[in-house]
Amino acid sequence: MDLQQILNLPEVQLILPVLQTVISILLMIFPLIICVAYLTYAERKVIGYMQLRVGPNRVGPFGLLQPFADALKLMFKEIALPKKSNKVVFLIAPLMVFVPAFLAWAVIPVNGNGALANINLGVLYLLAVSSLGVYGILMAGWASNSKYAFLAAVRSGAQMVSYEVSMGLTILSVILMAGSMNLSEIVLAQKDMWYAIPAFPMFVIFIISILAETNRAPFDLPEAEAELVAGYNVEYSSMPFALFFLGEYANMILMSAMAVLLFLGGWLPPVDVAWLNWIPGFVWFVVKVCAILFIFLWARAALPRFRYDQLMRLGWKVFLPFSLIWLVLTAFVLKFMS
């Protein structure tokens, strides 16, 4: 049988689409993992330079192989299971943090060709999937059977749930303006003006909310090392420990991509002129995501940590009412002025 015949077999015909999907998923995930690795490198470099240091510079040229050295080191460590921990949940927890962060990329359109799955309810899917990360953290804290891990998990869970609310409301106002829940359509609706301009307050709230949602500085209370040793991952070592961090950094990239798609015009250039349109959309997308990621790193280097009650006050008493009012305002403006 030659290749053509093999391809025409009914069995092959059935499996081929599945294979195609699997390959396109892998093509999405592997670059992402590399990005996550280099985000840790970028973080150390950026914060290094902000603190008048050089950051990692020993492994490879400019320290470029540092992420791989770190990964190898973590892989060769022993996986320590605490004796009184709940073993099954303890080992599932890191996966529950890691997987949703990558799951969400199925609907993210990186250029005009659309995403892996260009579904109509892309925004809703993103919200649904990103709300799963909290389980990993709660399970980790509970299964570790340790006070510090547990307290950190409860804190972190409460924080993520609270900021999800204000994040959801800011996204709702964008959906109202775009009139669609399809991410590609939301981006195309921003052809004339990025939503960051008319909805600037929402953009600011969204950026602050994603800082809190990913448990990053200045809202990195779950990792408050002075009070909670290290946070919900105290008892973890080796790869399970690394998975938490991979998940956290993948979430940072995901949230930045969300901010870019919803407020900064996705893959579209800033103004619709010819010579800017020659640059491929993918490049615009990556540049914008990097800009938002830089804000993440900048905030970590520049701002002191929030106190827990301040964090909750900001989320529930400032952001929530403000974004609700803005939502009503947006609806009014859209109904009566356009």
How far apart are the C-alpha atoms of 158 and 80, rounded to whole Å? 28
Which backbone phi and psi does 279 adopt, to 5 degrees?
A: -70, 130
Confirm or reject binding of residue 157 to other proteins (CB under 8 A).
Answer: yes
How far apart are the C-alpha atoms of 286 and 335, rounded to whole Å? 35
In the complex with other proteins, the residue whose CB is nearer, 66 or 215, is 215
Binding range to other proteins, per CB under 8 A, among 124-132, 230-238, 249-257, 279-287: 124-132
Which backbone phi and psi does 195 adopt, to 5 degrees?
A: -65, -15
Residue 124 C-beta: closest distance to other proteins, Å: 5
Give me the DSSP letters along 289-310: HHHHHHHHHHHHHH-PPPPHHH
With tokens 């809190």, the residue in question is: 212
Kindly state the number of chain residues that form the binding site for other proteins, as judged by CB under 8 A: 30
In the complex with other proteins, the residue whose CB is nearer, 112 or 168, is 168
Show Cβ contacts of residue 328 under 8 Å, excluding neighbours closer than 6 positions.
none
Residue 265 Ramachandran class (φ > 0 left, ψ -120 to 50 alpha, else beta): left
How far apart are the C-alpha atoms of 233 and 215, rounded to whole Å? 13
Residue 319 C-beta: closest distance to other proteins, Å: 15
Single residue of 33, 50, 71, 132 touching other proteins by CB under 8 A: 132
List the interface residues with other proteins, window 1-40 (CB under 8 A): 10-11, 14
Confirm or reject binding of residue 213 to other proteins (CB under 8 A).
Answer: no
Residue 183 C-beta: closest distance to other proteins, Å: 14
List the interface residues with other proteins, window 164-183 (CB under 8 A): 164, 181
Single residue of 33, 50, 81, 154 touching other proteins by CB under 8 A: 154
Are 119 and 104 a contacting pair, CB within 8 Å?
no
The residues that touch other proteins, with contacts defined as CB under 8 A, are 10-11, 14, 89, 119-121, 124-125, 127-129, 131-132, 134-135, 138-139, 141-142, 150, 153-154, 157-158, 161, 164, 181, 309, 313
